[in-house]
Structure 1
Amino acid sequence: MQSPVAPPIEGATHLHSGKVRDLYELPDGRLLMVASDRMSAFDFILETTIPDKGEILTRMSLWWFDQLSGLVPHHVLSTDVPAEVRGRAVICERLEMYPVECVGRGYLTGTGLLDYRATGQVCGISLPEGLLDGSRLPEPIFTPATKADFGDHDENVSYDAVAGTVGDGVAEQLRSLTLAVYARAEQIARERGILLADTKLEFGARPDGTMVLADEVLTPDSSRFWPADDWHPGRAQPSYDKQIVRNWLLSPESGWDRASGAAPPPLPDEIVTLTRSRYLEAYQTLTGETW
């Protein structure tokens, strides 16, 4: 996948671009993290953007950081950002990021379901027989993944593999904090009629060793949110995320062959509108705020 081109921001030095976010360094050494309207699917950055997506993700992360106050410190220092990225960016502290995608799961789906069907386990954790797509797990589990290079897939790994990379003490803290964040967020979402199936978190360390929650948190890009009143295990669940985009790309209507290696085609206007509405619905339902 070709790395996206980040727009220049006066007085800021571009450091890195991911599928959605662009990272800059400010003159005082702090970092500026900007959420774009880019949409990725199947390890491609799509030609078509989703209007307001970056601002929705940023607002939702800030709301969740507030909900998690007292549980774990976060990396946001200020929302007083340059005018051209206002609403979609935060100023954050520089951290030493841990090379682990920390995933908390309360329901079986996605790559976890694939692993379970193949081995009866997810990341080395044995699960009961007979679980279906969308089944609620007996208790939430920590299912870490490696951080892949740009354009590659993250790969699920065992807890022991994480401990071998970052040490036993850090691995236990990552697991404990991930499950604590998942538990609080799952309860909050459930009270608002949404099931939090799973979520991916990233943590970093301050110079004094304090573990800090970083990047985005509990957005439709990093989490699976399902309408609680439409949850039926045994099938794919309706979701507040980019599944609409994935489904269209895989449909005959798109004309795209995933196995071809070619980039996906532009999204039609109705798919863009529907995707934006799902992101907005998740934001408004969870936060109680109107756009």
Structure 2
Amino acid sequence: MELIHQGKVRDVYADGPDLILVASNRVSVFDVILPTEIPGKGALLTALSLWWFERLADIVPNHVVSAEDVPAEFAGRAVRVKRLDMVKVEAVVRGYLTGSGLADYRETGAVCGIALPAGLEDGSRLPEPIFTPTTKADVGEHDEPETFEQTAARLGPDLAGRVRDLTLEVYRRGSEIALAKGIIIADTKLEFGLDEDGVLTLADEVLTSDSSRFWDAAAWKPGRTQPSFDKQFVRDWAISTGWRPDDPEAPEIPEHIVEATRDRYIEAYELLTGRRWS
């Protein structure tokens, strides 16, 4: 096999007509890869994505060919997938206000050009989910938010509209399923590609602890940081060290932060799927 792309978390190999998508144990925050890995993370992300792909298949086709027909050295954290012409956008949807969306709102009263009601706090539920796309940056660069109109100018209005509508539909389905399991999906990002017939297809990962903010529904309270089951824990730790994303060297993650992060990923998987992680 030939390594044709190495992303922040996933490596992509060419294998005949298909691709092999391998989830590593790397962790990135603010688009920067940290030097310490989270053991088992790649397998957790792969298993959770496969679980979600099954539950979203009636909404949107996905790129999965097989989770078993992969090289033995990648078993458990790799998926054989269809080749797609990837759409150059990070399809972000927000149902709650936090993170960069909160910063944008505090400055402008809007997120990606979408005006929001006054008086919202960190963790506030939005009146309805909003599509807030970003550019899809290369490794070492940062994704930049843009309005839907800017996305439509890049992709064309028809494709941009289909990406937006499917993103919102996936989020609504996922949020409903997750809330019944005690998890709020505050926001998430999706990736899409076009297959050989031009069909818009869900790709990469979906509704994982890397690509989403998962909050404890029972503990949710606007106006403060929410207890979570995602990599926000690592983001918060990294910032607490005084490190900033433009610093030349990212900090090593201490063992207790590694363990606590892995525990959160496992808890999210078990709560959502009802399966025991071993």
Does the alignment reach a TM-score above 0.5? yes
**Contact 1:22–1:36, Cα closer than 8 Å, also in 2:** yes
Instruction: Write the deviation string for residues 148-181 of structure 1: whole angstroms up to 9, x where unpaired.
Output: 1211211111111111111111111111100100
Correspondence 1:1-291 to 2 at 5 A: 12-26=1-15, 28-79=16-67, 80-251=69-240, 254=241, 256-258=242-244, 261-291=247-277
Name the CA distance, whole Å, in 1 between partners of 2:31 and 2:158. Answer: 33
Residue 258 (structure 1) shift: 2.5
Partner-residue secondary structure (3-state), 2:139 = coil
**Contact 1:44–1:263, Cα closer than 8 Å, also in 2:** no
Q: Which runs of 5+ in 1 are unaligned?
A: 1-11
Identity of aligned residues (%): 58
The amino acid that maps onto 2:106 is R
Name the CA distance, whole Å, in 1 between partners of 2:130 and 2:245. Answer: 33
Residue 270 (structure 1) shift: 1.0
Residue 260 (structure 1) shift: 7.2
Partner-residue secondary structure (3-state), 1:100 = coil
Q: Which runs of 5+ in 2 are unaligned?
A: none
The amino acid that maps onto 1:268 is P
Name the CA distance, whole Å, in 1 between partners of 2:101 and 2:236. Answer: 19
Instruction: Write the deviation string for residues 204-231 of structure 1: whole angstroms up to 9, x where unpaired.
Output: 0012111000001100110011000111
CA change 1:83–1:228 in 2 (3 A) is same
TM-score (norm 1): 0.92
Give the paired residue count. 276
Displacement over 6 Å in runs of 4+ = none
**Contact 1:196–1:226, Cα closer than 8 Å, also in 2:** yes
CA change 1:148–1:259 in 2 (3 A) is closer
TM-score (norm 2): 0.96
Partner-residue secondary structure (3-state), 2:209 = coil
Q: CA RMSD of the aligned region, Å?
A: 1.3
Residue 259 (structure 1) shift: 7.1
Residue range with higher mean Cα deviation, 257-266 or 185-194: 257-266
